[in-house]
Amino acid sequence: MSWEKWQNIDRRIIYLLVTLVLIIPIFKPMGLPITVQKDLTGLFYDRFDKIPAGSIVYFDAAYSPAQDAEITPMVKALFKQCMKNGVKIVVGGQFETGVPFINIALTQVAAETKAKYGEDYVEIGYKPGGVATVRVMINDFWEGAKSTDFYGDSFNTLPLMQKVKKFDEKAFAAIVIFESGSPGMETWYTYTPKIPLYKASVMVEVSGSLPYLKSGQLKGVLPGMRGAAEYEKLIKAPGAATKLMDAQSAAHLLVILLLVVGNVGYLMSTRRGKA
């Protein structure tokens, strides 16, 4: 046996193996174990799950297309939980580019859960003006949102919107921001501090969110793709995040295996040389 070959595996073989371990779990999940982080995902779930039926939650699409794969699974998982618990949703977006992606996700889940647009959820879309628009919505939601939804329909035709006159704690039981950057959660804890704020974000945003979680300004933080997979486990609805975590874990195992093989080859060839 040539131990040198173990140290010099053809890079084409490595590329092929990496490709296979990334693709196969997506089409045929392996069901690798997922441990729920109690201080993050678990805390988020426990608090959010207690929102009473009939309450209204605001979803904020504050992410760009580049983060779609990481954040959209969170959108779907939380929407499924809300529909199961009888919680209503109003969806807006601080990022104009994030609104079309959250629209696709909600449309897909609505078809699965039989959610009725206008009654169970409404999408108001992106409203230009930034903080100035939010400040108007606080006193008169309809005026700030121009009384039209994502599709251009009047709020007068949407039963759910009859319950939303102001952007305050009487109208909304919580805000969930799906965040990848700025403007983000600062908008909500500055201008709507009385409404419980939850954050579902890309992983790189999590460390900066922890002080706000500890201070109580955030009620929960959902950490990236792993958090999405954990949440799918908690609501018993495995989805895209679970598959992608399988792929990621398989790739990590492959890297570890290749490191072991390379080092064993090196040690054995060195030992044989000394002999």
Q: What is the largest CA-CA distance in the chain?
A: 87
pLDDT per position as a tens digit, 96-107: 888 998 999 999
Helix (H, G, I), strand (E, B) or coil at 160: helix
Give the 3-state secondary structure of 213-240: HHHCCCCEEEEHHHHHHHHHHHCCCCCH
Q: Give residue 238's pLDDT band: very low, low, confident or very high (50, 70, 90).
A: confident
Q: Are residues 178 and 223 in the same domain?
A: yes
Q: Give residue 234's pLDDT band: very low, low, confident or very high (50, 70, 90).
A: very high
Task: Name which residue leads in pLDDT, 229 or 172.
Answer: 172
Q: Average pLDDT in the 226-246 region?
A: 78
Please tell me the total count of domains within the chain: 2
Q: Are residues 139 and 65 in the same domain?
A: yes
pLDDT per position as a tens digit, 46-90: 999 999 999 999 999 999 888 888 899 999 999 999 999 999 999
Helix (H, G, I), strand (E, B) or coil at 63: coil
Q: Is residue 243 part of a domain?
A: no
Q: Are residues 110 and 162 in the same domain?
A: yes
CB distance 167 to 134 below 8 Å? yes
Question: What average pLDDT does the chain have?
Answer: 87
Cα(150)–Cα(153) distance, rounded to whole angstroms? Answer: 7
Q: Are residues 93 and 224 in the same domain?
A: yes
Whether the pLDDT of residue 121 is over 70: the answer is yes
Q: Is residue 33 part of a domain?
A: no
Q: Give residue 260's pLDDT band: very low, low, confident or very high (50, 70, 90).
A: confident
Helix (H, G, I), strand (E, B) or coil at 154: strand
**What is the DSSP secondary-structure string of 39-97?**
IIIIHHHHHHTTSPTT-EEEEEEE--GGGHHHHHHHHHHHHHHHHHHT-EEEEEESSTT
What pLDDT score does 29 carry? 66
Task: Name which residue leads in pLDDT, 29 or 211.
Answer: 211
Domain range spanning residue 7? 3-28+249-274
Task: Name which residue leads in pLDDT, 272 or 218.
Answer: 218
Torsion angle in degrees (nearest 10) through CA of 61, 65, 71, 75: 50
pLDDT per position as a tens digit, 136-170: 999 999 999 999 999 999 999 999 999 999 999 99
Q: Are residues 55 and 147 in the same domain?
A: yes
Beta bridge partners, 61, equal: 178
What pLDDT score does 147 carry? 95
Q: Are residues 120 and 231 in the same domain?
A: yes
Q: Is residue 242 part of a domain?
A: no
Q: Give the tokens for residue 153.
A: 């329909």
Q: Are residues 181 and 262 in the same domain?
A: no
Whether the pLDDT of residue 123 is over 90: the answer is yes
Find the CATH number of the domain harbouring 202. 3.40.50
Q: Are residues 147 and 215 in the same domain?
A: yes
